[in-house]
Amino acid sequence: MGRRWKGSTSSSKNAGRSSTGATTPATARRLDPIARKPIALNPIALKPIGWVRHGVPEAGVPRLRSEMVSEIVMEDAYAEAIAGLEGYSHLFVLFWMHRCDPARYRPMVHPRGREDLPLTGVLSTRGRNRPNPLGLAVVEWLGRAGHCLQVRRLDAYDGTPVIDIKPYDPYDVFTDLRVPDWWYRITHPAGYGFGIGGTPAP
């Protein structure tokens, strides 16, 4: 059982998907040949393009995340690659959660570690102890000084490696969506200052 918010959504973004998010037959045909063909992957290597800097103690990051201001200090090799980011009000930041212990990975977890919430697959949560400890945040652009970017709402620890930065644009905005009841129980009563506008459907 989940909750749905109503709003306008670009029809082009929903092409190839049903209202429940399932793949439609047209999309399935495009994916089918790939699914039948195993692909051997070499080990995947990632290198940081920059580092998070803010000086906030680790224990304070979850509490201050909605207003926390951070710098992303770019590696010199990628200083030119950030040209043009100032044209966007918000960005996606992909980072490596280097403080996660691989031994703590569990396929099933209680969201936020709360045992009053249902046991669910870790990939259905934003928990840190994942198969690959990748973090993703939508941040607000505040400015730039040389090769340092200043952003708000980056919930990463001081010293976290940044893997990639992408612009956030209107194509990424969905207003008609569904979330599990446990998500609503966490976010709505707490009043964290973020969430989805609209009225929950029954």
Domain for residue 32, yes or no? no
Q: Are 99 and 57 in contact (CB under 8 A)?
A: no
Domain for residue 31, yes or no? no
Residues 161-190 pLDDT 10s = 999 999 999 999 988 888 898 888 887 765
Band (19; pLDDT cuts 50, 70, 90) = very low
Does 13 score more than 80 pLDDT? no
CATH code, domain carrying 58: 2.40.30.70
Total number of domains constituting the chain: 1
Q: What is the mean pLDDT of residues 132-154?
A: 96
Domain for residue 120, yes or no? yes
More confident residue, 89 or 200: 89
pLDDT at 34: 54
pLDDT at 185: 81
Domain for residue 5, yes or no? no
**DSSP code per residue over 107-146:** SEE-GGG-TTSPPEEGGGS--S--SS-EEEEEEEEEEEET
Residues 21-79 pLDDT 10s = 444 444 444 444 555 556 666 788 999 999 999 988 888 887 887 889 999 999 999 99
The residue range of the domain holding 125 is 45-169+176-190
Domain for residue 37, yes or no? no
Lowest mean pLDDT among 30-34, 50-54, 104-108, 139-143: 30-34
- Return the closest-CA partner of residue 194 out of 90, 70, 50: 90
pLDDT at 82: 97
Domain for residue 53, yes or no? yes
Domain for residue 7, yes or no? no
List the structure tokens of 47: 């290198």
- Return the closest-CA partner of residue 140 out of 72, 91, 192: 91
More confident residue, 8 or 161: 161
Give Cα separations from 42 to 39, 45, 145 (angstroms).
10, 9, 38
Domain for residue 129, yes or no? yes
pLDDT at 95: 97
pLDDT at 100: 87
pLDDT at 36: 57
Number of residues that this document lists for the chain: 202
List the structure tokens of 19: 């209202």
